[in-house]
Amino acid sequence: MPQLALVRHGQSEWNLQNRFTGWVDVDLTENGIAQAQKSGELLKAEGFEPELAFVSVLKRAIKTLNLTLEGLDRLWIPVDKSWRLNERHYGGLSGLNKDETREKHGDEQVLIWRRSFDTPPPPLAEDHEFHPRQDKRYADIDPSLLPATESLKTTLDRVEPYWRSDILPQLEAGKTLIIAAHGNSLRALVKLLFQVGDEDIMGVEIPTGNPLLIDLDDSGTRPVAARYLDTDRAQPLPAIPGTSQA
């Protein structure tokens, strides 16, 4: 029976500063490092042994994955890095303080930008320092694919092809996997796995540095059990389709 662990990166510097981060490549805080180390300890206690790892191209996720794998003594496993697992791009909100943004634009508008399924924040200009076209790590990607802003819907549209082409076939082959990514890219994966509706998915919270361990059926496509390993910081999970929870 394959297993899948989803790990949101540990607390980042801009998480601590209450700033919109998105694709901006900020580092982990000391607390974030500790969360990532604990992630490895928790997964090791479960006997979790991933055979492949997937991660975004942002260092807060990469460092979280490395620290988690170090705790598992599995630094040697293959790792696939993809921009498609990046956080949602927050467009013109990138780098702004969330409280100051609410004061400027009003609580209702900011809530729409943050929590609606298909309404993105204002886009960045192509010459803005936070636009991915200005970042050399995306130099080999078709510029038309690089977002200037994203909603959760367009984040899902970016994540889903990679899920179906690269990740899901490994699960169907019976492999145990770990994915280290971000609140919204992991929310997109949870939506796909648990068949969560468009409105309901925005209420799903993914805590930093707290592994979500999912047991899958023999096909590797359907969850049969799921739990956060750090119970003190766990968040409610969607119902598992086809079970008594649904």
| Cβ–Cβ under 8 Å, residues 146 and 182 | no
d(CA 135, CA 124): 14
**Phi/psi at 104 (5° precision):** -80, -45
Judge whether 150 counts as a catalytic residue: no
| Cβ–Cβ under 8 Å, residues 148 and 91 | yes
Which of 46, 87, 100, 126 is the catalytic position?
A: 87
| Cβ–Cβ under 8 Å, residues 25 and 58 | yes
Judge whether 70 counts as a catalytic residue: no
Which of 9, 89, 131, 182 is the catalytic position?
A: 9
3-state secondary structure of 178: strand
Helix runs in the chain, H state only: 13-16, 30-45, 59-72, 98-105, 107-115, 152-162, 168-172, 183-194
Active site amino acids: 9, 87
